[in-house]
């Protein structure tokens, strides 16, 4: 990390596994952070025991490096850089606690891999509408990086996307260390959409596994998902001038898709596996006890694509299974015939 970035005041919003992993990275790098956690009991426990008892319990924090608070306005006010790390389904409830001027002058780093349910907005569009946040002050974190591997300090890669590479690099430098390598690009819109799509496809990969398809099928399935992702990004970019150029073979696109579809750490794959084995959506949600972003994203993306008009049979199949109760076996039998 460069010396000039050492004293940037960082704040984290959220207390799940990904928020905890990002807090570990920042504090390991010598950054003192303010950390918003909704639950007062969780705060008291962390102050006493120095770790999050609900997520990544092996990660311990130096409490001199972390200021915990359930007061969102306070955390935002003292932070220069804010990291959003709450599930997309809860983002509006959290952010509407703030005044419309609260993000003025702040840099916002989005670690939410989802869309805002209901409005189907990308996070940058939502923040622009509600808080008048310029896209120049917004950055997206994406890439194949499971929180559990960060906790164990296994080498991982994150992509930091922003309109200006030099500014994105300064944010990335805050996170770079021996176990976390960073990449910078300007495709701030495309990487977010790719992250939304890969969660949907990972959920489908889990369904396939639950239906007892093998590795051969899964490799063909992911190949077709990757092609479908490219189709959507290209169709979306035609009507959005802010969408940048895509290097589809980079880790933020292909890499993240692969790891989320294959890894046992993937909550979307796990959720889908239960659906494939016959669980109802409600039962799978209760069993998982964590948010599978792909569930909400499948509905948002289906509705968004009514305007975009991309050919997306896999994403549509996942949507109809989860939201219209289509039998998973029937849906995948139909997909089989169209794969190449």
Residue-level pLDDT at 242: 62
Tell me the CA distances in angstroms from 54 to 20, 37, 46, 288, one per residue in order. Answer: 10, 12, 10, 13
DSSP 8-class letter at 25: H
Rg of the chain on CA atoms, in Å: 19
Do the Cβ atoms of 197 and 142 come closer than 8 Å? no
Low-confidence ranges of the chain (pLDDT < 70): 1-7, 240-245
Asked, colleague to colleague, whether 3-186 and 189-338 share their fold, the answer is no
What is the CATH number assigned to the segment(s) 189-338?
A: 1.10.1040.10
Residue-level pLDDT at 1: 42
Residue-level pLDDT at 243: 56
Return the structure tokens found at 70: 């359930």
Angle between helices 313-323 and 188-210 (to 10 degrees): 60
Q: By three-state DSSP, how is residue 203 classified? A: helix
Angstrom distance (rounded) from CA 243 to CA 21? 29
Residue-level pLDDT at 291: 84
Tally Cβ neighbours within 10 Å of residue 279: 18
Question: In 3D, which of 190, 305, 184, 301 has the Cα closest to residue 243?
Answer: 190
What is the CATH number assigned to the segment(s) 3-186?
A: 3.40.50.720
Angstrom distance (rounded) from CA 246 to CA 188? 10
Query: Any idea which residue has 């489908």 for tokens?
Result: 204
Residue-level pLDDT at 237: 84
Residue-level pLDDT at 246: 72
Residue boundaries of the structural domains of the chain: 3-186, 189-338
């Amino acid at each position: 990390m460069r010396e000039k970035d050492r004293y940037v005041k960082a704040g984290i919003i959220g207390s799940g596994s990904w928020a905890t992993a990002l807090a570990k990275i920042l504090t390991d790098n010598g950054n003192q952070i303010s950390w918003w956690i909704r639950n007062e009991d969780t705060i008291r426990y962390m102050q006493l025991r120095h770790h999050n008892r609900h997520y990544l319990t092996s990660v311990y924090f130096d409490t001199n490096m972390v200021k915990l608070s359930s007061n969102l306005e306070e955390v935002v006010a003292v932070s220069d850089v804010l990291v959003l790390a709450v599930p997309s389904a809860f983002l509006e409830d959290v952010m509407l606690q703030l005044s419309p001027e609260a993000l003025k002058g702040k840099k916002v780093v989005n670690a939410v891999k989802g869309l805002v349910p209901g409005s189907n907005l990308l996070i940058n569009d939502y923040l622009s509408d509600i808080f008048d946040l310029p896209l120049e002050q917004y950055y997206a974190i994406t890439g194949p990086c499971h929180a559990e591997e960060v906790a164990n300090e296994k080498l991982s890669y994150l992509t930091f996307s922003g309109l200006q590479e030099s500014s994105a690099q300064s944010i990335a430098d805050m996170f770079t260390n021996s176990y976390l390598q960073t990449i910078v690009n300007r495709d701030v819109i495309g990487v977010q959409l790719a992250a939304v799509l890969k969660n949907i496809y990972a959920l489908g990969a889990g369904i396939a596994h639950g239906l007892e398809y093998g590795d051969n099928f899964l490799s063909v399935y992911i190949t077709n998902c990757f092609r479908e992702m490219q189709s959507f990004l290209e169709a979306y970019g035609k009507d959005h001038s802010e969408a940048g150029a895509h290097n589809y073979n980079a880790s933020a696109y292909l890499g993240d898709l692969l790891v989320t579809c294959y890894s046992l750490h993937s909550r979307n794959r796990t959720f889908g596996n239960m659906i494939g084995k016959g669980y109802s959506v409600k039962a799978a949600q209760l069993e998982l006890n964590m948010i599978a972003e792909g569930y909400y994203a499948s509905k948002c993306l289906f509705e968004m694509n009514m305007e975009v008009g991309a050919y997306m049979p896999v994403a549509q199949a996942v949507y109809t299974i989860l939201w219209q109760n289509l039998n998973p076996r029937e849906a995948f039998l139909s997909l089989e015939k169209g794969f190449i």
